[in-house]
Amino acid sequence: MVTSLMEKDDLPFEWIDISNPEKQELREVAAKYHLHSALVEDSLQPEHLPKYEEIGDVRFLILRVYSSKADSQSDTIQELTDKIAIFIGDGFIITIHRRPIDFIGDIRQRYVETRKCLSPYDVLQKVILSSFLTYERPLAQLMNEIEKFEPMLFLQKRMPALLEDLYYIKRQAYVINKLLNLSRGIVDHLAEKIQAPDLNNLKDELLRQYTNSDHVMDHSTTLLNTYISLTSQRTNEVVRVLTVFSVFFMPLTFIVGIYGMNFKYMPELSWPFGYPLLILLMVVLTVVIYAWFKRKGWL
């Protein structure tokens, strides 16, 4: 659906917003504003990463914004984010997206209708800034989840099943980190078109969100490694206890095995004190093994 958010009668530029675009609509808009057909095709592809291209006087951008449909088990770029394609030239800006983007209407009401945006690049700066801000809340939620996992990991006696949760946290932070890193090139290419204060604001916000995503990645990696180490340590502890018990029973099993053989002529079988002495020997062996373990510090 093609919506005109700003006409040239009101400001010296047009803002066209296309939601859930159809090919015919895009062809008509492309013909009117002389958009390159290859870039128009790119605007329809849902899997594109952030990028910047320039053909003649028209600049083409792709941004990724955090999706309102994403959940705790979303782990791909398509599941976590929505794409916005933007064409911008002298006197016009065109935004293209499949799903509704909340901040589009907000920018129109707060900045365009109040005459705070006087050029298409002013609108573009607000759109890019708003796209970066969509990552703020999910990154804060990921950080809160990690902070909840720390006491569960270190203070609970039983090891909680956190492996899957930590994987999704790390994966989501990685996707956001990758998209923000790719978005740096877009900001750098617009250095000559966006005023210095607004450009610095974009760079600061990009750096802030990138640092937050990097922090979540590092923290989740540390917790993941700690979880694996603690799991391995507790498994080793169980194996050590079982090994100790097996060492206790090995000599006893050996003695019982000897006297359990069905030979007719075994001298100890007819000895009156054979049974109590054998029991005493087992007790002595058990005490000796226990004393040896204590001396080695294994018990």
Q: Which residues contact 215 (CB under 8 A, 6 or more apart)?
A: 143
- Using CB atoms within 10 Å of the CB of residue 178, give its burial: 0 to 12 exposed, 13 to 18 middle, 19+ buried: middle
> Residue 180: which residues within 8 A CB-CB, separation 6 or more?
132, 135, 206, 209, 210, 213
pLDDT of residue 211: 94
Structure tokens belonging to residue 127: 């759109």
* 183 pLDDT above the threshold of 90: yes
Question: How many other CB atoms are found less than 10 A from the CB of residue 98?
Answer: 15
- Which range has the top average pLDDT, 37-41, 139-143, 233-237? 139-143
Mean pLDDT, residues 5-33: 78
- Tell me how far apart the alpha carbons of residues 95 and 87 are, in angstroms, rounded to a whole number: 7
Higher pLDDT, 21 or 96: 96
Q: Summarize pLDDT for 53-99 with one digit per residue, the tens.
A: 988 888 999 999 999 888 888 889 999 999 999 999 888 899 998 88
> Which of 285, 289, 230, 225 minimizes the C-alpha distance to 255?
285
Output 276 or 184, whichever has higher pLDDT: 184
Whether the pLDDT of residue 3 is over 70: the answer is: no
> How confident is the model over 198-217, as a mean pLDDT?
93
- How high does pLDDT run on average in the chain? 84
Strands 14-19 and 92-97, bridge-based pairing: parallel
41 pLDDT above the threshold of 90: no
Q: What is the mean pLDDT of residues 266-281?
A: 76
* Angle CA 292–247–239, to nearest 5: 105
**pLDDT tens digits along 151-179:** 887 776 666 677 888 889 999 999 999 99
Counting Cβ atoms within 10 Å, is residue 263 exposed (0-12), middle (13-18) or buried (19+)? exposed
**DSSP at 157:** S
Average pLDDT over residues 146-155: 82
Residue 50, pLDDT > 90, answer yes
Does residue 31 register a pLDDT over 80? yes
| Domains (range + CATH), the chain | 2-231 (3.30.460.20), 237-296 (1.20.58.340)
Confidence band, pLDDT 50/70/90 cuts, at residue 125 = very high
Q: Are 214 and 177 in contact (CB under 8 A)?
A: yes
Average pLDDT over residues 277-286: 82
User: What is the value of pTM for the model shown?
Assistant: 0.79
Gap between the Cα atoms of 31 and 44, Å rounded: 16
Q: Is the pLDDT of residue 4 over 60?
A: no
pLDDT(298) > 80: no
pLDDT at 33 over 80: yes
pLDDT reported for residue 157? 63
Question: In whole angstroms, what is the distance from residue 224 CA to residue 28 CA?
Answer: 52
Q: Which residues pair with 14 in a beta bridge?
A: 92
